[in-house]
Each structure stands twice: as C-alpha cells, then as structure tokens.
Structure 1
Amino acid sequence: MKIASHADKIRRLLQLRERLDPLQDFELWYWSSLTAGTNIWNASLHACGLTSEDRAFSTIPGVHVVPQADGGWRRELRGPGDVSHVGWPQIPGDMPAPIQRLEAALHALEEHRDPCLRADRVPTPAIVAECERALSQAIAVYQALVPMEQQP
C-alpha cells in the first residue's frame, strides 16, 4: 500500500480514538491505536526503503495478493511489503535507529493486547497512559521519517 494510503488511515484512526473514552471503550480505543500503529510501522518502513509500497497485500509472510489487469487478484511470492504486525514477518537487514525506536514503542503498545483483550486484566488509567505514551512515541518517529506532503 502507498505511504499516502497508510497516512490517510492513520489520520482517520487517530480521529476515531479521540471520540472514544479510553476506559469505557477500551477495546475499540485500543484496536484503533494498534491498527494506527501497524499503519505507522508500514509507512515508516516504506519511507526508509526497507519494504515496498507496491499494491500487494500480505496474507502470510512472503505470500501476497496482487491486483491483476482484469480486475481479479492473484497470490504471489514476494519479499517484504506491508506487514501485518510489528515483527511479523521480520524485516531482513539492519534497522536504522528510528525504526528500532518505533519497533520498541509498538511492542510496548502491544504488551497490553493479550492481557486486556484476551485475558482478564481490567484496563486502568495507568495502562491507558502507557498506551498513549507508546503511540505518541510511534507517531513522533513516523512524523520524522515520512515526508509531510505524504501525511494528509
């Protein structure tokens, strides 16, 4: 997906988050945060030239669904493009320092997924603050890496 498309999703997801109460609507608030983070990750990897912004959609690592001239879709084996999750699949090669910081911030955000959404941990103001801090760090890296004209 193109950086501009990721940027548009990021913008819309962040606007959605602002309309949600982070404690009462935690699951929706958190998923919008996590999905924004995945788009931040992909746009930043594209901006650094670590992944391709081709119009191909990853289904499993290495397998992409690619649009065809006849309007259909076809599975293709390809190198890294859009990733589904930070760390899945792993991106080969040396990661620049900003990408390492972004990865750490997104991992910090993801730490709350399983305990709060799939287990029995009740979200607290402290958890919300940790998620806010992690996403803010991710946004700062993204804004430094992605040219402003590609951020709608």
Structure 2
Amino acid sequence: MRTASHLSKFDRLCALRDRFDPLDDFELWYWTTLTAGTNAYNACLHLAGVTSDDPVFSTIPGVHLAQQADGSYARILRGPGDVSHVGWPPIEGEIPADIRELEEVIEAIEEHRDPCLRGDRTPTQEIVDSCENHFAQVRKILFARSEELG
C-alpha cells in the first residue's frame, strides 16, 4: 500500500476510535487502536525506505495483489511490502532506532489482545491507560518520522 494510504487510514481509524468508549466498547476501540498502529508502522517503514510503498496489497508474506492494465487485480510473488504484525513477515536489513521503538510500543499494545479479546481477562481502566499511553507514543513516532521526511 502507498504511504499516503497508510497515513489516511491512520487518521480515519483515530477518528473512529475516538467515538468508542474504551471500556464499554473495548473490543472495537482496541482493534482500531491496533490497526491504526499497524498502519503507522507500515508508513514509517515506507518513509524510511525499509519497505516499498508500491501500489500493491500484501495478502500473505511474499504474495501481493497488484492492479493489472485492465483494472483487475492479480496475485503476484514479490519481496516484503506491508506487514500485518510486528515481526510478520520479518523485515530484513537495518531498522532505524525510532522504528525499533515503534515496534516495542506496538508489541506492548498487542500484549492485551489475547487475554482481553480471546481469553477471559476483563479490560480494566489500567489496561486502557496502558494502551492509550503506548498509542500516544505511536502518534509521536509517526509524526516525527513523517515530518522529518516531508
């Protein structure tokens, strides 16, 4: 996906998450938070030149949907593009320090996924505050990276 598309999606997801009550609508609030973070991560990787922002859409690692001359989409094999989660697929090469920090922040948000959404842990204000604090760091890193490069 293009960098601009990730940034636009990030903005739309942030606006959507602001409409949810973090405790009453935890699952929806959490998924918008995590998906916005993943889009920020992909945008930062593209802005740093670590991954390509070609107009193709990753489906599974190495397989992408690319628009054909007739307007249809076809699956093609190619190198890394967008990531679905930190570490999936693994990113080869040198990762700048701010993006490593972003990975850690997103992983800290992801720590609550399985226990709260797939397990039996009831979300608490403490969990919401943790996610919110980490998401504030996502925003800070994304904005610094995008301002630095244009």
* Alignment partners' CA distance in 2, 1:83 and 1:68: 22
Aligned to 1:29: 29
* Alignment partners' CA distance in 2, 1:147 and 1:24: 35
Task: Specify whether residues 18 and 148 from structure 1 end up closer, same or farther in structure 2 by C-alpha distance, changes over 3 A only.
Answer: farther
Q: Deviation at 1:18?
A: 1.1
Match of 2:74, SS state, is strand
* Alignment partners' CA distance in 2, 1:101 and 1:34: 16
RMSD: 1.4
Moved over 6 A (4+): none
Q: Deviation at 1:149?
A: 9.3
Task: Specify whether residues 43 and 118 from structure 1 end up closer, same or farther in structure 2 by C-alpha distance, changes over 3 A only.
Answer: same
Structure 2 spans left out of the alignment, 5+ residues: none
The answer to whether residue 60 in structure 2 is matched with residue 63 in structure 1 is no
Deviations 1:9-35 (A, max 9, x none): 111111111111000000000000011
Letter in 1 for 2:83: V
Aligned to 1:100: 100
On the 8 A contact 2:47/2:149 being kept in 1, the answer is no
The answer to whether residue 126 in structure 2 is matched with residue 126 in structure 1 is yes
Deviations 1:47-72 (A, max 9, x none): 00000111111111111111101111
What is the TM-score of this pair, normalised by structure 1? 0.94
Letter in 1 for 2:39: N
Q: Deviation at 1:147?
A: 3.2
Alignment of 1:3-22 (within 5 A): 3-22=3-22
Which one has more relative contact order, counting CA pairs under 8 Å at least 6 apart?
Answer: 1
Match of 1:66, SS state, is strand
What is the TM-score of this pair, normalised by structure 2? 0.96
Structure 1 spans left out of the alignment, 5+ residues: none
Deviations 1:114-147 (A, max 9, x none): 0000010000000001100111111111111113
Match of 1:102, SS state, is helix
Letter in 2 for 1:37: G
Aligned to 2:137: 137
Percent identity of equivalent pairs: 58
